[in-house]
Amino acid sequence: MSTAPVEQITATVRGNQEAASASSHNAMAGFQELAKAYQAIASRNVEKLSASIHQLSAVKSPTEFITLQQKLIKEGIESAVSDSNDIAKLTTAVFSAAFEPMQKQAAALQSVGQNAAKAKN
């Protein structure tokens, strides 16, 4: 009796385990990067808020206050859009990296299955 099927199953299981482990590792590394990015955004926003309050407290007229307020709001919106785009790109990269090993394993298994089907014919 041939041990080829058992060896093939063992190799498949080992490949699945390695892919799952690599995916898990990539996901954890990616989530750490996301946490760092969120922390950097939060720190930057605290600094900007402090600077904005300081600037607003130094104005000398209501007109100057409104002008500065509008400028700060515009800058805040632009910053929020930029930060959102950066987080979206990073999130996409994290999920791509996390699922890549599993996708490669699935493709490899599909290839093995196709080769086995061809061998039977």
pLDDT at residue number 9: 80
pLDDT at residue number 116: 67
Going by pLDDT thresholds of 50, 70 and 90, the confidence category of residue 87 is very high
CA distances from 8 to 3, 30, 114 (A): 9, 32, 14
pLDDT above 90: residue 23: yes
pLDDT above 90: residue 119: no
The ranges assigned to domains in the chain are 62-98
pLDDT at residue number 5: 77
pLDDT at residue number 114: 74
Q: Let me know: does 48 contact 79? Beta carbons within 8 Å.
A: yes
Rounded Cα–Cα distance for residues 19 and 14 (Å)? 9
Rounded Cα–Cα distance for residues 110 and 116 (Å)? 10
Rounded Cα–Cα distance for residues 76 and 100 (Å)? 36
Whole-structure pTM value: 0.75
105: nearest Cα among 11, 5, 4: 11
Average pLDDT, rounded, for the chain? 90
**pLDDT > 70 fraction of the chain, expressed in percent and rounded:** 93
pLDDT at residue number 75: 97
